[in-house]
Amino acid sequence: MKKLFSLAVTALLLGSMSLGAQPTGACPVIPQVARYVSAGEGSFNLSPGSTYSLKLSGLKEDASAFKAYIENCDLALTPGKKAVVRFIIGPSALKSNLPEGAYKLEVGKKGIDIRSASYEGAFYAVQSLIQLQQHGAIPYCRIEDYPRYGYRGLMFDVVRHFRSKEAVLKQLDAMALLKLNVMHFHITDNEAWRIKLDCAPEMAIEDFYTKDDIREIIAYAAARHIDVVPEIEIPGHNRALLKVHPEFYCSGDHVVDNVFCIGKEEPFEFFFRVLEEVMELFPSQFMHIGGDEADKDNWKLCPLCRERIQKEGLKDEFELQSYCIGRVDQFVSAHGKRMIGWDEIQEGGLSPNATVMSWRGTSGGLKAIGMGHDVIMTPNTYLYLDYGQDAPWKEPAAFNYYLPLKTVYEYEPEDGIDAPEHLLGVQGNLWTELVVTDNHFEYMLYPRAFAVAEVGWSPKGSKDFDTFREKARFLCGVLRSKGYTCFDLDTEYGDRPESLNKIPRITQNAKAVMYIGSNDKTGRETPALVDGYLGGWAMKGKTRWVTANTRAVTIDVDLGEVMDIHYVGAEFVDYKLRRFQAPPDTEFFVSVDGKNYEPLPIGQIKLSPDRQGYAILIAGGTVNVQARYVRLKYNTGKVRVRAFISELIVN
Ligand SMILES: [Zn+2]
C-alpha cells in the first residue's frame, strides 16, 4: 500500500516536470500568486517606454485613471501599435467565478497578455509585473491570481506621532505593490486630533491634516485601489477632546480623564456632527468608531450616567457602553455606512450591524463570527507591527512582545472559525507611542507588512516561509533603493537561543504555585515556572515569562519527593527601557515536610551582559541539601517596576 502510494507520487512529480510546471514558490512575487506555471525556457524583456494596448470588454467605466497609472508607474508603459503589453479588461475578458481583483497574466515570446474583469484586477497584474521586472527579464509563464480576502489592511496611528501627508502617500505606494487595499487611518486619540473639521476646528491644535490633505490622500489611495477607512474614537481615548471640551466630562469626581459622559446629550450631538462630516469626506463604506479601552469607572460614580442606566433599563456600565455604541451604530447605518469597532464593542451586547475588529488575540473575533457578525482579524499576537521584531538589545524601543517576520507570516486567520464567510480579512496595526520618526515607522512596517499581505492574499495552505523570506530579502532591497527604511533580515538575531531548548532539571514532575502579595493564601499553579524553558524575547503573548503586578511574591515548588539538590536558581529580566527590573531582594528556602523551611545562602549573579539596558539575570547558586520543597521569595522594593521571572531551576 505504502509502495503504491509513493509510486503514484513519483508519477505525478514526473508528469508535472515533463510539462515544465514549476512549484508555485518559483514565482518571486509577494504576495505569493495563487497559480504560477512556467511556460518554457526564455524570458521577455520589458523596458521603460514599452508599448501597451488596452481593450475594454463589456466595461463602461472610463480608462483614463488606469492609463495614467500604468504610464507613470515603474513600468512607464506608452500607448502604441504592436503593443508588447496587451490588456483586455471587462466582465467578458475573464470568464470565471474568480473573486474581485482576479487577473490572468501570460508571458511569452510575443509579449505579455493580461486579462481581468475589472481595473482592480488589471492593477494587481501590473503590480505582479513590476515585481517580476525587478528581477530582470520576465520569465515565460502563466499566472492566475486572485485575493483570498477582500479586506487586506494596514492601520496607521498618526496621532501618537504625526506622519506628514508625504510620508503617508509614500506608504500607499508600498501598499499598492503588496496588493494591500485598505488603509485604516487612526486620526483621533488621547494625545491629539489630527484632522481639521469645519464642525470642530477647535480640535486641530498641533500637527493635523486639512480636509484638502485628506482628499489628496484618498484620491492617491483610490488610484491604487486602496480604501481609506477613518477612525474616530468613541467613547474612550478622548483626553484631547476633554481638554478642549471639559463640559463633556461626567459630573462629580473623575477617576479617568479620557472618557466622555454617556448621561449627557452634548457629547453625542458633537460626535454626530463630527461623524457626519467625516463620513461625507471619506467615501469608504466603513466608518471605524473605536470603542476600545473605555474605562467605566467615571460612569459608575456619575449621577447623569446612573440616570441614563435607569431610564434606559440597562444593567450596568457595560450595557451603558453598549447603549452608546448602539446609538452611534444607528447613526452610521442611517448614513448608509457600516460601523467597525474594536472587539470591546461586544461588551454589554453587540450592536446588530457592527463589524468587529478583533485585536485582543483572536477570541473576540471568533465570538463575533459565532454570533453572525462580520469580522476583521488584527490579533495583537500576530499582526501588531509596533511590537519588537528582534532581540530587544539590538532594536529601537518597542512593546514587550516578540513578533518576528516568521510569526506574522505563520498567522492562519481561519483557525478556529466555522463560518469563514464572515471573515472579511486581516490587518496589520502600527501604533506609534514609541515610533517617533518616519524611518522608524517604515522600519516597523517592512518587511512585516509583506507577511500581512501574503496572509491576506495568498491561498490557504500555500505558505513556505523559507521561500518567502528570500523573496522578502529581495523586496527589502528594492524598497531601500527607493528610499524606504527596512528591518535588515541579514542581521536578524532570532529569538533568545537559550530559550529554544529545555534545560536539565532534577525532575519533570515539579509543581509550582505562585503567591502574589502577602495576603494571598491560595496562590495559583504556574506551570511555566517549572516547564524547563527559559524566557525568550517575548514578555507578553506567547511568553515564558511570568509577572505579577505586586511587590512581594512567593513561589513554592514541590518536587514530589525528597531529592538531593545541588543547584537552585531563578531567572529574571532587567530592561530599563520598559521599566522591568530584576528584584533587588531574593531569598531561597528549602523544606523536607513543606512546613519548616530553612534559608539557603545564595546571592545574585549577573548572567548576560547589559546590552542597551537589557540584561537577563540569574539569582541562585550551588547548594548541597536534601529537600522536597523549594521556596523563592522576592520583592521589587519601593520602586514601581515589574519583575518578570521565567523559570525556577532546581538541580
Ligand atoms: Zn456621566
What is the residue-averaged pLDDT of the chain? 91
In the structure grid, which three cell numbers stand for residue 606, read together?
549577573
Q: What residues does each domain of the chain span?
A: 2-145, 151-464, 497-650
For residue 265, how far is its CA from the centre of ligand 1 (angstroms)?
A: 10
Whether 50 shows a pLDDT value over 70: the answer reads yes
Q: Which three cell numbers stand for residue 112?
A: 505579455
pLDDT confidence band for 608 (50 / 70 / 90) = low
Region 280-295: what's the mean pLDDT? 96
Check whether 354 has a pLDDT greater than 60: yes
Cα(199) to centroid(ligand 1), Å: 24
Would you state the pLDDT for residue 8?
36
Distance 302 CA to ligand 1 centre (A): 5
Calpha distance 401→429 (Å, rounded): 14
Q: What is the 3-state secondary structure (H, E, C) of 250-288?
A: CCCCCCCCCCCCCCCCHHHHHHHHHHHHHHHHCCCCEEE
Whole-angstrom CA distances from 617 to 533, 585, 608 are 15, 13, 7
* pLDDT over threshold 80, residue 638: no
Cβ neighbourhood burial of 294 (10 Å; 0-12, 13-18, 19+): buried
β-partners of residue 565 are 625
- Give the distance, in angstroms, between the CA of residue 215 and the centroid of all CA atoms in the same chain: 26
pTM: 0.91
pLDDT given at position 640: 61
Q: Ligand 1: distance of its center to the CA of 447 in Å?
A: 45
Nearest alpha-carbon partner for 631 in 457, 482, 514: 514
Q: Mind telling me the catalytic residues? A: 189, 237, 293
pLDDT of residue 5: 37
Cα 296 to ligand 1 centroid, rounded to whole Å: 10
Ligand 1 centroid–CA 241 distance in Å is 15
Give the other-Cβ count within 10 Å of 482's Cβ. Answer: 12
Angle 266-281/211-222 helices, nearest 10 degrees?
A: 50
Q: Which of 36-50, 104-118, 229-243, 465-479 has the lowest mean pLDDT?
A: 36-50
Structure confidence at residue 9 (pLDDT): 37
CA of 301 to the centre of ligand 1 (A): 8
**C-alpha separations of 256 from 206, 240, 305, 487 in Å:** 23, 13, 15, 38
d(CA 335, ligand 1 centre) in Å: 27
Ligand 1: centre distance to CA 259 (Å): 9
Cell representation of residue 499: 530559550
How many angstroms from the chain centroid is the CA of residue 465? 18
Q: Flag whether pLDDT at 515 surpasses 60.
A: yes
The string of pLDDT tens digits covering residues 526-551 is 999 999 999 999 987 778 899 877 77
Give the percent of the chain with pLDDT over 70: 94
Instruction: Give the distance, in angstroms, between the CA of residue 428 and the centroid of all CA atoms in the same chain.
Output: 4
DSSP code per residue over 454-497: HHHHSPTT---HHHHHHHHHHHHHHHHHTT-----GGG---S-G
The domain 497-650 is placed in CATH, from the list 3.40.50.1980, 3.40.50.300, 2.60.120.260, 3.40.50.150, at 2.60.120.260
Please report, rounded to a whole number, the percentage of residues in the chain having pLDDT higher than 90.
Answer: 79
**CATH homologous superfamily of 151-464:** Glycosidases (3.20.20.80)
Whether residue 214 has pLDDT greater than 90? yes
Using CA atoms, how far apart are residues 408 and 185, in angstroms rounded to an integer?
A: 21
331 C-alpha to ligand 1 centroid (Å) = 21
In this predicted structure, the answer to whether residue 6 has a pLDDT above a threshold of 50 is no
Calculate the alpha carbon distances from 216 to 196, 325, 346 in Å: 14, 30, 35
Least confident of 158-162, 247-251, 518-522: 518-522
Give the confidence band of 169 by pLDDT, cuts at 50, 70, 90.
Answer: very high
**For 75-93, what is each residue's pLDDT tens digit?**
999 999 899 999 999 999 9
Domain covering 2-145, topology? Chitobiase; domain 2 (3.30.379)
Radius of gyration of the chain (CA): 29
Q: What is the pLDDT of residue 542?
A: 78
Lowest mean pLDDT among 11-15, 403-407, 525-529: 11-15
Cα 17–Cα 21–Cα 25 angle in degrees, nearest 5: 115
Whether the pLDDT of residue 643 is over 60: the answer is yes
Please state the length of the chain. Answer: 651
Question: 303 CA to middle of ligand 1, Å?
Answer: 7
Expressed in angstroms and rounded, the spacing between residue 242 Cα and the centre of ligand 1 is 13
C-alpha cell at 2: 505504502
> Would the pLDDT of 589 be above 50?
yes
Give mean pLDDT, residues 558-563. Answer: 97
pLDDT at 327 over 70: yes
DSSP 101: T
Identify the CA nearest to 126 among candidates 474, 138, 467, 459. 138
Q: Which of 315, 497, 233, 269 is nearest to 391 (CA)?
A: 497
Mean pLDDT value of segment 620-639: 88
- Give 54-71 pLDDT, tens digit per residue: 999 999 999 999 999 999
pLDDT of residue 26: 77
